[in-house]
Structure 1
Amino acid sequence: MVVPLAVGEAGTSAGAAAADAERRLRALAAELAQTRESIKQHVAREIHDSLGAELTAARFALANVEHALGAGRDVAAAALELAQQSLDAACEACRRLVQDLHAPNVEGGVVAALAQWTREFSERTGLSTSFVCAADVRLTQLPPDAALAVMRVTQEALTNVAKHARASHADVRIVTDAKRLTLIIEDDGRGMPPRARRAGAPSSASARGFGLPGMRARCESFGGALRIASRLRAESPGSPWHGAWPAAGNAAAVQPGTTVRAHFLWAAMAHERNEDTRRRAGRGSRAGHGR
């Protein structure tokens, strides 16, 4: 009687695990759909607010050139210069939009890609940004999907800092241990606003406003998790609050601002690397048979 019972328990456990995996898959699919919608809204806002505004300004500037032609050479030249500046600004807005949408080049490794991107981000936004990375050879062996996930979480987190935090500085660090790669982004800003603090679930509207569901999904796709801790500047030093997920480490040590910790499991990333190797080998084998 013991063996059938053990088999039954194993079957029940496997069924529960499968149901849990299915629920997680549905949740991730919903978050992916929401992330795609957020990207569409971001593109629409950028086109309207930056590119559209600059093109409108250029249109009016060019219209003024026609009126300035009769007012003399100097006036016309000034009007043309203004139109050129507006068109240059429109081109720059278009370049930034394409850059934001383009997948980062991680072929040279995630460390080099992050170092370059954070430097360009600092120059573009004026936010002082530092990047420090652990000396871990495994970072040079990340599969492209894992490296891209680390890049995207960094980009989303720093974009949040630039847009919402009113910070003067942000630190980006990668630390590693036997089990995990941990990406840490800290800023000295005002902390997350109350609406995000009251967000009861990662899928809430407030969380989506900060891109948190997409960040969380990228971590979970490699067996990890997202941890956020924040304290508003107006709050007392002894009253830290935790966002949608509990903070890792000593909460009392958190300074005014926000700390994002994104965890990725080496085992899950190694599995992806092995799968990528098998896919490449399969393509090579099919190509060989084709010849």
Structure 2
Amino acid sequence: MSGRGTVGSAAGAADRAGNSDALENLARVGLIAYGVVHLLIAWLALQLAWGGGGQSADQSGALSTLAQQPLGKPLLWVLAIGLIALALWQAGEVLRWRQGLSASGDARKKAVTKIVKSVAKAIVYAALAILAIRFATGGGQSSSGQQQQQTAGVFGWPAGRWLVGLVGLVVIGVGVYLVYKGVSKRFLKQIDLGQAPPRTRNLVEKLGLVGFPAKGVALGLVGALLVYAAITFDPAKASGLDGALRTVLDAPFGQVLLTLVALGIAAFGAFCFVRARYPERT
């Protein structure tokens, strides 16, 4: 068999796996897990806003909170498996759109956009799965501190300061896009509500209108802190989502603003639950 035939067979097998019912069901678990993480972050943000904060209001704090609950560690393994399935699902999307790279014009542009988004999502889901496994095995730690250490390490690279600033600008861009996605209701393309009752459609629309902009604002602040860290050459400024939410709290009317952001993040988590029930069909 030729090399091209071998690659084609492997791609075909991976594509079939990406479309399998078993993987889709696991991906549903992953979407629920992703929603749970956002609900926990929202709860930690509310505690931070009203003076009861203990854990970091970010992914690490959410998973740490879950790990401390009865049956928390087994649940973390379930979350990790679901998130890995989500990452594989996105890898299947890359394979699904790969043929569009040989097209021209708008078809090629659409394929490139889909592939870039799927790769980015796969990385996010895989990273979160690894974090869940670390907490399940007792090796998790604050991602805020890790980010500061990683930023300090990047500062030591040639042009590392510029790289940190560039990453910050990219994160800001993602945040702006999420705000636009929520306001323009483009999130409805991610979910198949053809068989959903009217009340569910209205609920999903409201969750997306609130959830996506709130998450976008939070990510935009994370990116802004990275840019600020690059400008000041101070890795301590790169404090991740927890630092971003504390920045909101320090602003005028910060308690109210942080509460609104927390409720928005909770709405995004609830949207993930509905998306697991009514996944997009392509």
TM > 0.5 between the two? no
Greater C-alpha Rg: 1
> Which one has a larger percent strand, Structure 1 or Structure 2?
1
> Which one has a larger percent helix, Structure 1 or Structure 2?
2
TM-score range, shorter chain: under 0.3
